[in-house]
Amino acid sequence: MQLRDRFEQLEWLVPVGRTGAYELSGPGSEAMAAIGIDIEATRALRRRFAYACVDWSERRPHIGGALGHALLEIALKKKWFVRNLDSRALTLTAAGRRQLESRFGLAAEAVPA
């Protein structure tokens, strides 16, 4: 299951009408703050806050916008993922697998290696 799907399941990400945009619920804001994302600073950036953005490789939506970027930066900073040198691909680390399972309830077998 993807992170966006899980965040919707937990009702942390709430769709805004039919625009493709998302808003964070109270528990969603708390969860993002708990991993180190400054929600107010993220909102203040000159880009859309959060929206469903179709991934070019898997053709499934992921979290785009300032929130998606903040999640990526935190995951890289905390070494949950590492960038592959020759592509835009990311590799999930063992620590990342543990964190995705404990923080977000993503079963280890559901998270791609």
Domain ranges of the chain: 3-110
Strand partners, 23: 14
Name beta bridge partners: 7.
Answer: none
What is the DSSP code (8-state) at residue 21? E
* pLDDT in the model for residue 1: 43
Q: What is the pLDDT of residue 85?
A: 84
What lies within 8 Å, CB to CB, of 82 at 6+ separation is 76, 90, 91, 93
Residue that has been written with the tokens 């600073």 in this structure: 41
**Per the structure block, which two tokens stand in for 105?**
């309830």
pLDDT bin (cut points 50, 70, 90) of residue 109 is low
Rounded CA-CA distance 92/99 in Å is 11
What tens digit of pLDDT does each residue of 42-85 get? 999 999 999 998 877 778 888 999 999 999 999 999 999 999 88
Note the pLDDT tens digit of each residue in 6-29.
Answer: 999 999 999 998 888 999 999 999
| Beta-sheet strands, E only, within the chain | 13-16, 21-24, 51-54, 61-64, 81-83, 90-92
Question: What is the value of pTM for the model shown?
Answer: 0.86
